[in-house]
Structure 1
Amino acid sequence: MTALSDAANPATAANPVNVASHRIADSLRHEILGGQLAPGTRIRQEDLAERFGASRIPVREAIRMLHADGLITMVANSGAWVSRLTLAECVEVYSIRERLEPLLLRMSMPNLSAETIDHLDALADGMAANTDVDYFVEHDRELHLSSYSGAPRGALWDIIHRLWNTTQHYRRAYATLVGVEGIGVTHMEHHLLVDCIRRQDPDDAERMLVTHIRRTRLELERHPELFA
């Protein structure tokens, strides 16, 4: 899911406005996904222009890109905010993920290299051995999105990437609430999922992934205070 850098992307390298908009978008994306900008935070164009030493044009383009990624919500004639979900909306997103992600995983599995699968194993081991919540949130995301990396980058991939973006804050809030020690079953599920992938058993992998996503949804439903 890593975007091309400005230097590696001829389209952005040739256009200073694109270079600036990607730089601004990358910085804000990192802050939103990293938890520095909480859901509901107002995004003001004039503040961003001053902060990044840029005109309003690349700032508006950066906001548009983050809106397309599901990280920012834009309201006509009102402004832009870091996207937030109600509990009902989050439950709906997880219900959609339960149905779509197993399909993307099935499409991806035949194209995953042995090196990629070894990397998934290493990510699962690393999370199980680390008690830092931010480490868990970052590497949990990497494990799942890496497991889909063998699938074509089409509409399904884009939808799932957006859904992951919109729920990132709530995964972090839940992990912080219960502590990494409180989600030990997640580590077991990660290892079982990687085992299914290594065995190239898409049926087992789909069942494991549905169980994994559903359990997180049910746990989030038990904590409505995370959405207050």
Structure 2
Amino acid sequence: MLIASILDGELLPGQRIRQEALAEEYGVSRVPVREALHMLEREGLVTLVQNTGAWVTALTQDECIEIYEIRERVEPLLLRNSMQNLDDSVFDRLEELNAQMIAARDSPNEFMRLDWEFHWLTYSGAEPSFLLSMVKRLWNVTQAYRREFVQHQDGTAQHLTHSEHLLIIESLRRLDSADAGEAIASHIRRTRKSLVTRPEIFDLDGSASSLEH
């Protein structure tokens, strides 16, 4: 699926998406392809230019940092909405995922997969809502840049991630909403501050490529 190609990094920010190639790949007409592109545009993953074409959405450094500022404020609320519906089996799984991330420190894609599962498991107790949908969109539109960020992480940064995850788990086990909110906000804040010092992460350029065969 096209969304998987974007989120998995097969398609890079700025890369052109050709409707004809997609229609041929999936064995469909251009109509469902066009509808899918409009859906992805609403999700912020694709940029459509009338009478010109479609591209994977690219963010500037300032835009990405702004998204992290938003996440820093809204994800504590989402976590508080979720935590009352989590149980010991979830907390145990969170600890397993956190341990697996240490073992995956040399595999950025696996590290990201585990990190994604970790955080969305903490939010799994939240009822479907505008907030939940918004946070998922914020995660998706920054996925390519998180991947680059993870690839630039050193052992110290990975150790900090592990420690911050432990704080989140501990506060969830205690059902301490204040500590849980501060733990996730602090976790996101550290990444946001690191992004300020990593302009090279935003040099991703898929404009030289296009989805064609």
TM over 0.5: yes
Is contact 1:90-1:167 (8 Å) kept?
yes
- Which residue in 2 is equivalent to 1:62? 36
Q: Which runs of 5+ in 1 are unaligned?
A: 1-26
Question: SS state of the match for residue 146, structure 1?
Answer: helix
Q: 2:120 aligns with which of 145, 148, 151?
A: 145
> Which deviates further from its counterpart, 190-199 or 176-185?
176-185
Partners of 2:156 and 2:8 in 1: how far apart? 21
Q: Point out where structure 2 has 5 or more consecutive residues left out of the alignment.
A: 204-213
1:212 maps to 2:187: yes
1:123 is matched with which residue?
Answer: 97
- Report the alpha carbon displacement of residue 181 of structure 1 after superposing the two structures with TM: 5.9
Please state if 1:176 is matched with 2:142: no
Match of 1:108 in 2: 82
1:81 and 2:65 equivalent? no
Contact 1:33 1:169 in 2 (8 A): yes
The farther-off stretch of 182-191 and 148-157 is 182-191
The 1-side partners of 2:39 and 2:118 are apart by 24
Amino acid at match of 2:44: G
Q: Note the C-alpha offset of 1:218.
A: 0.5
2:137 is aligned to 162
TM-score by length of 2: 0.90
- Decide whether aligned partners of structure 1 residues 180 and 140 sit closer, same or farther in structure 2, where only a CA change above 3 A counts: farther
Residues of 2 paired with 1:177 and 1:90: CA distance? Answer: 16
Shift of 1:117: 2.1
CA RMSD of aligned residues (A): 1.4
Provide the rounded CA distance (Å) in 2 between the counterparts of 1:129 and 1:192.
Answer: 19
State the shift of 1:68 in Å: 2.7
* CA apart distance, 1:179: 4.4
Does the residue aligned with 1:36 lie in a helix, a strand or coil?
Answer: coil
Does residue 197 of structure 1 match 2:162? no
Letter in 2 for 1:143: F
Is the 1:133–1:180 contact (alpha carbons within 8 Å) kept by the matching residues of 2? Answer: no
Quote the residue 1:33 is aligned against.
7
Percent identical pairs in the alignment equals 48
* Shift in alpha-carbon separation, 1:142–1:69, aligned structure 2, 3 A: farther
* Distance in structure 2 (CA, Å) of the matches to 1:158 and 1:123: 23
Residues 138-172 of structure 1: per-residue CA shift (max 9 Å, x gap): 11111111211111111101110000001111111
Structure 2: distance between partners of 1:96 and 1:182: 22
Cα distance change, pair 68–179 in 1 and its aligned pair in 2 (3 A): farther
* Match of residue 206 from structure 2: none
Give the CA deviation at 1:114.
2.3
